[in-house]
Amino acid sequence: MSLVERRPVCALRNVSKRFGSISACQDISIELFAGEAVALAGENGAGKSTTAKCLYGFHSPTTGHVEVDGREMTFRSPRDGEAAGIVMIPQELDLFPELSIVENMFMGQQRPRTRFGTFDWRAMKKTAREILARLGLRLDVSQPVHLLSAANCKLIEIARALNRNARVIIMDEPTAALTDREVRRLLSIVRDLKKNGVAIVYITHRLDEIFDVCDRIVVLRDGSLVDDGPVSDFTEGSLVKKMVGRPLESLFTHSPHPIGDVALEVVGLTSEPAFRDISFQVRKGEILGISGLIGAGRSELANALFGLRAYAAGTIAVNERRVRINSVADAFRLGIAYLPEERRSQGLILPFSIQHNITLASLKRFTRLGIVSERGEADFARKAATDFTVSGARIDAAVSVLSGGNQQKVLIAKTLARNPEIIILDEPTRGVDVGAKSEIYRIIDDLARRGCAVILISSELNEVLAMSDRILVMREGVAVRTFERSEFSPEAIGAAAAGQKVLSNVA
Amino acid sequence: MSLDAGSETRTVDFAADDVPQWRSILSWPAAPSIIFLVVATLGVGMVTDGFLTIANLRSILEQAVLISIVALAVNQVILSGEIDVSTGSLLAVCAFVFGNTANVVGGAWLPLLAALAAGGTVGLLNGFLSTYGRVPSIITTLGMLFILRGAVLLGGGAQVLNMAPESRIFGQGMIAGIPVTILIAACLFLVMEIVSRHIIWARNAIAIGGNESAARTLGLPIRKTRLIAFVLSGLCCGLAAAVFLGQIGQLQATAATGFELKVIAAVVLGGTSIRGGKGSNVSPVVGAVLVGVILNAMTLNRVPGTYELLVLGSLILGAVSFEGVRQKLLTRGH
């Protein structure tokens, strides 16, 4: 390589993006060079995907700009980004399932024409086959993609990017749905792409992949860039520390609470393909944290415990009595409550008032002879709103006017209105500001002190570390290990979740 | 940028997804309906006198033509993930425009233009409200169904139009021994086939219906594509109106009531997914013929016309539930 200063293929210059009053990322500058893979690392909500979306034109930055070959660009849509050679491969499969491979590869793109002005399908298929061959794939390009495996679909997306002559490919969690073998294959393809001068932006939670395939690491935290340096500057431990960042002890409440009998015991619970052979206990007054990466099967486990997902094998015992949970009604009867991950789609009815949302699941309490007592309902809702410090609107206002944090508190109030004995909280503080977070932590602590068995599912390592009495780490559908409070450390739990130890044993 | 083909042998072998032949044939959307059509035709033919005659088959096809013309367009609307239920009333409106224009200026081509203009305008309105106006298309077109029928009843309630033979050329007459109506439908089918294979708009339409979020990530023009599908639906109602008036020769305000249901039945029976993103131009045509065969068989077997809706409704439900079962069979093992 010459000593001449390298020029970036593409760069973000002081990019900030605000959504209303919320700032998703501030003042981010990243340079991307040909043949180099850059890891975007950070916790959930650190601003990784917003940053990536600004880069390929899905969002236009509030301030700052994207530069390609030293020229300032204005992307109005992903099309503009693509025209400049920047292609995104999103986390969820973004293919057209019913359409053929070749169709998917040419969608939204200039297609070759014959001299009659019709599409030149023969040429298109030839190009498609050639690109697939480069990726080491031999497939019938006219078959619909819904017949392909998840791994091959991911490769089709890469092929699609190559067909656009991408110079920069952004991959968001490309290995989330892949098996170990397929991951290795994908990483070898990423290396090939680098060799051929493609710049890669690699977003992942799996630390081992970062160290395996990336050349540089950019660490984001709370929407700001906190570090940018070659991989050799980092160790797994130091990377985790940079991602997690500031001391947060003051934010959390963890008071001593007496731990009682076993409230919930799960043995060998299996629901393929999400999780298998999961066993654990939670006692009254105990907070069990469940940690792991996205796709580790945590939410699916919660769904199974709440009767939203069928399980094929294993047993569940509540208060030392064996039970079968087939429906939400079963779960309710057993005193199990669940705070879902997606509060907008799964938890709240947005146009309903705060009061009606709180009492929705427990109307029986205020009902006599089939008639709901409005006063009883309103009294209860008012008390709950005060207890859970819901602020921002009167209880008859639509819940949609509240901030994310207050919506979450309404949802918690609703979930607790039934006086559950076992409560499963799935990412209770996602998308919630710091103030509301600390109030939610206080509520969780309070629940445990009152003798509830609490299961806290969270991707935020700080949160599980500070709040839990024990932590169960899941990885790819398997319970890897349970940590006692004395064994807690971010490094150990991060490593167990990302699976370095486990991987190196297998390989 | 290029990658060297075969520069290195992959160390990790990827299992190629080998799809059995039968599975890829059966996953063709119109496959079951074609099988069903053949079985139904033969079955009915065996038990019904006078079914498998040239004259009867011709009359089935002529009846199916009208549904096919509109269904070919509505098929595109459904493929793009929307729906158009206004076609029955729109057909009546276009027929009135056609008939009244024909009464004033005579001939058939100018009235056809007028009918196309009327259909296209309403289609544009449907499309605009359903896309840029953010009204769900089921509501837009349901409202339009009532509004247009109301307009026809008000404007032409007492009128009974009788068409001069010269204005009926799109519904009667033969070219080279083949009925004009069948030729029109066949041409439209061919045009739609070419459009589907070779025009970006049609490729985008089926993609948008198949995965809207992916379409958004790719920056496909979602609203424009759907808008055009609605306009096409309106235009085809205009064309169908010319055929319709030509066939029956006179028009009343209640004409083509319930026609929109037959159209949707044809599209769904033919195997196009009501959720969008899956189907072909074969679907609406096969579906239309199937509806024709069944209605004809009922007539020949002296089943009272009052059973028509009952049978059509059961067919739609049957077709959609069958589709669910078929998908399960096809995706088993994945």
Diameter of chain B measured on Cα atoms: 81
pLDDT one-digit tens code per residue, A408-433: 888 888 888 878 899 999 888 876 66
| B17: closest CA of chain A, how far (Å) | 6
Mean pLDDT of A333-355: 78
Contacts with B, A 82-121, CB within 8 Å:
82, 88, 90, 92, 94-99, 103, 107-108, 111, 117-119, 121
pLDDT one-digit tens code per residue, A279-293: 999 999 999 999 887
Mean pLDDT of B28-51: 82
Could you tell me if residue B167 is inside a domain? yes
Please report, for residues A221, B67, B118, B126, B322, the alpha-carbon distance to residue B140 in angstroms, rounded to integers and kept in the order given.
46, 21, 17, 6, 29
Question: For A64-103, what is the HEC assignment?
Answer: EEEEECCEEECCCCHHHHHHCCEEEECCCCCCCCCCEHHH
Number of H helices, E strands in chain B: 13, 4
Pick from A7, A89, A11, A96: nearest CA to A54: A11
Pair of tokens at residue B288 = 């239309």
Residue of B nearest to A105 (CA): B218
Least confident of A391-405, A406-420, B193-207: A391-405
Within 10 angstroms of residue B69's Cβ, the number of other Cβ atoms is: 29
Could you tell me if residue B138 is inside a domain? yes
Q: How confident is the model at residue B260 (pLDDT cuts 50, 70, 90)?
A: very high
Mean pLDDT of B121-139: 95
Contacts of B19 in chain A (CB under 8 A): 140, 143, 147
Fold of A10-244: Rossmann fold (3.40.50)
Average pLDDT, chain A: 84
| B11: closest CA of chain A, how far (Å) | 8
Could you tell me if residue B109 is inside a domain? yes
The answer to whether A10-244 and A257-335+421-437+450-507 have equal CATH topology is yes
Q: Is B193 in a helix, a strand, or coil?
A: helix
A434 touches chain B (CB under 8 A): no
Contacts with B, A 22-41, CB within 8 Å:
none
- Distance between CA atoms of B183 and B193, rounded to whole angstroms? 15
A182 touches chain B (CB under 8 A): yes
**H or E element in which residue A240 lies:** helix A236-244
Mean pLDDT of A431-445: 78
Average pLDDT, chain B: 85
Q: Give pLDDT, residue A427.
A: 86
Tell me the residue range of the domain where B226 lies: 55-326
pLDDT one-digit tens code per residue, B93-120: 999 999 999 989 988 999 999 999 999 9
Q: Give pLDDT, residue B91.
A: 96
Q: Which CATH architecture has domain A257-335+421-437+450-507?
A: 3-Layer(aba) Sandwich (3.40)
Q: In chain A, what are the domain boundaries?
A: 10-244, 257-335+421-437+450-507, 344-419
Contacts of A147 in chain B (CB under 8 A): 17, 19, 23-24, 27, 334
DSSP string, A95-163: S-TTSBHHHHHHTTS---B-TTSSB-HHHHHHHHHHHHHHTT----TTSBGGGS-HHHHHHHHHHHHHH
Tell which of B2, B9, B12 to mutate to test the A interface (max A CBs under 10 Å): B12
ipTM value > 0.85: no
Please report, for residues A100, A297, A496, the alpha-carbon distance to residue A475 in angstroms, rounded to integers and kept in the order given.
33, 8, 8
Within 10 angstroms of residue B113's Cβ, the number of other Cβ atoms is: 15
Whether the predicted pLDDT of B9 surpasses 60 = no
Contacts of B2 in chain A (CB under 8 A): 196
Contacts of A117 in chain B (CB under 8 A): 198
Contacts of B211 in chain A (CB under 8 A): 94-97
User: Of A92-106, A450-464, B17-31, B67-81, which one has max mean pLDDT?
Assistant: B67-81
Mean pLDDT of B285-297: 90
Number of domains chain B is built from: 1
Could you tell me if residue B14 is inside a domain? no
**H or E element in which residue A368 lies:** strand A367-368
User: Of B132-141, B291-300, B308-317, which one has max mean pLDDT?
Assistant: B132-141
Pair of tokens at residue A223 = 């929407």
Q: Give pLDDT, residue B4.
A: 39
CATH number at residue B243: 1.10.3470
Give the closest of A155, A162, A184 to B12, CB-based: A184
Could you tell me if residue B234 is inside a domain? yes
Sign of CA dihedral A428, A433, A439, A441: positive
Q: How confident is the model at residue B8 (pLDDT cuts 50, 70, 90)?
A: very low
